[in-house]
Amino acid sequence: MTREAETKYLNKVCWPFDRSDCLSSAGFSQDKIPPNLDALVIGSGVGGLTVAAALAKAGKKVLVLEQHDQAGGSCHTFQEHGFEFDVGLHYVGQMHEGGMLRVIMDQLTEGQLQWNLLGPQYDSIKIGHKVYRLHAGKAEFPDTLKKQFPGEEEAIEKFVALMKTAVRHVPLVAVLKMMPQWLALLLVKSGLLHWFSPVFRLAESSHQEVISRLTSNKDLQTIFSYLFYGVPPNDSSFMINALLIHHYKRGAWYPRGGSSEIAFHMIPVIERAGGRVLVRASVSRILLTNGRATGVAIQRKEGEVCINAPIIISDAGIFNTYNRLLPPEIKAVPEVASLLSRLQHGMGCFLAFVGLRGTSEELGLKSTNLWIYPENDLNGLMEKFWSLEWEEICEDLPLMFITFPSGKDPTYQQRHPGRSCMTLLTMAPYKWFSEWSGQTPRHRGDEYHSRKMKLAQHMVERAIQEFPQLEGKIEYMEAATPVSNEYYLRAPLGSMYGAEQNCSRYQCDIISRTRAQTSVQGLYLTGQDVFSSGVAGAVHGGLICACAVLNRILYIDLMMLKKRIKRRKQLRCC
């Protein structure tokens, strides 16, 4: 290792402070606004930072405005009582050397973001009293499933084959969003899309419908559907579920240093081109001149501050953009009204953050995530979940996710000696906490605190059943509700993943219309609502937006780069 490389390594693993504060919390002031902007991005989630970094690499000067006090959106972290917690990113797939997502992230961070490969068993799924384990690897993934489901070999092979089909053809979904809209809609109306590729039929098909044709084994159907995001298999797209499961097939990774490292390493790319990322800058409206987006207004104590740019990009989500940032007459345009009527708000989530005394090694904490379902009927579980009232949920929690961020990041102990952390997640309808909407954190009263901590305590008790060694090791506990997401992330109704990821959203006409370009000239959308959910979905949403702004298919450049990396790797092996 060279001295320069060693210095970079030591800075990565031994930095004694929260380095994310250095770059990702530069507060807004008018004197920090760069002159002669090429573009302005509303929101610093992964989708917003991706498009900003991509434009910066093309030499564009971009200003990113974030309403929270830290950049990164759902990829930011927070620290309390000596513990650090991630709020949205729990693990990422397809980060192997030469993988497309790895190539993209290396370009967006100049290769400075490091990824820690988790153990080969990345997920366990507990259904009732049975535990099934998923292992990484092209061959290992189906082989270990076959060992756990003897007699279901054919169903597993067919499912893996359908996953491969979805992955190979999903670029056509992006193409549909990038081609001229009139042509995309013409292809949709003509029915030719289904002749071009099976991926569009897989996108429109119910996940439950497809897997029911493969197997009648309810446990195996649950394994094929286990990554919950608020939509039951009956109403979710098979393509999306297949892509999610395939996403981790080669393994799971975690950002070395925590999820806030993503923003930390994207911001310098933006700033080297003359741009800035500024926080505590809440955009109140998008400015229009003769029907064209020409800037934004920021509400400050001293009055409204207006910033102009020729290109405005919104990472605030499709609902916020049209319902909150644009005048009502834009939303009333038939094309916009029709699109919004076909989309729904996504489900909210509830998170319990638990600080533990002891290192991950001392406590026996692994990088494996645990998904818990009391039974193998996910459609019934979710239907039951939505019908439960608040009082009932604490007595009968239908599903839960348990993860140990400190067990995934080898730098956690250097940054937080003698401590570990656990995150617990379940879904949560907005109605459970809607009466506290609009109120600021720590000022919502005793009833709110009591309600959320009651559920958090119930979840902790359930987690201790699975990990009894944690009994008596808890030093800190906090919880986040859908109104927390609404406040910190400006997520409408506290949704986890933007617009609902249901079958309706992945009908071909909706796919072609939820694109980066909007009906307002000069205004673009980025992030999850452009493509799909999660970090990978937000990144691709950002790239699709950058393609539209630059009028260049960046994916061609990335594919050529991916081939060069693959050739270099082959030469090394020789």
pLDDT at 140 over 70: yes
| pTM confidence score | 0.93
| Tens of pLDDT, residues 332-363 | 999 999 999 999 999 999 999 999 999 999 99
Question: What are 386's two structure tokens?
Answer: 């939505």
pLDDT at 226 over 80: yes
Question: pLDDT category, 228, cuts 50, 70, 90?
Answer: confident
CA dist 354 and 478 (Å) reads 7
Question: What are 385's two structure tokens?
Answer: 């979940």
At residue 201, the pLDDT reads 96
The answer to whether 309 and 55 are in contact (CB under 8 A) is no
Q: Is 331 exposed, middle or buried (0-12, 13-18, 19+ CB in 10 A)?
A: middle
Q: Checking DSSP bridges between strand 419-428 and strand 348-357, what pairing results, if any?
A: antiparallel
pLDDT at 210 over 80: yes
At residue 3, the pLDDT reads 32
Higher-pLDDT residue of 396 and 171 is: 171
At residue 373, the pLDDT reads 95
pLDDT at 2 over 80: no
pLDDT at 106 over 80: yes
The answer to whether 441 and 484 are in contact (CB under 8 A) is yes
Mean confidence (pLDDT) of the chain? 92
In the chain the domains, ranked by start, together with CATH numbers, are 37-115+256-343+514-573 (3.50.50.60), 146-249 (no CATH), 348-492 (no CATH)
Task: Quote the radius of gyration of the chain (alpha carbons, Å).
Answer: 23
Mean pLDDT of 23-50: 93
Residue 91 makes CB contacts below 8 A (sequence gap 6+) with 118, 122, 248, 252, 253, 254, 369, 403, 408
Mean pLDDT of 535-564: 95
pLDDT at 389 over 80: no
Mean pLDDT of 312-328: 97
Mean pLDDT of 309-328: 97
Q: Is 3 exposed, middle or buried (0-12, 13-18, 19+ CB in 10 A)?
A: exposed
Higher-pLDDT residue of 437 and 393 is: 437
Question: pLDDT category, 6, cuts 50, 70, 90?
Answer: very low
At residue 574, the pLDDT reads 65
| Ranges 48-52, 121-125, 165-169, 425-429: which has the least confidence | 425-429
CA dist 267 and 178 (Å) reads 26
At residue 511, the pLDDT reads 96
At residue 388, the pLDDT reads 78
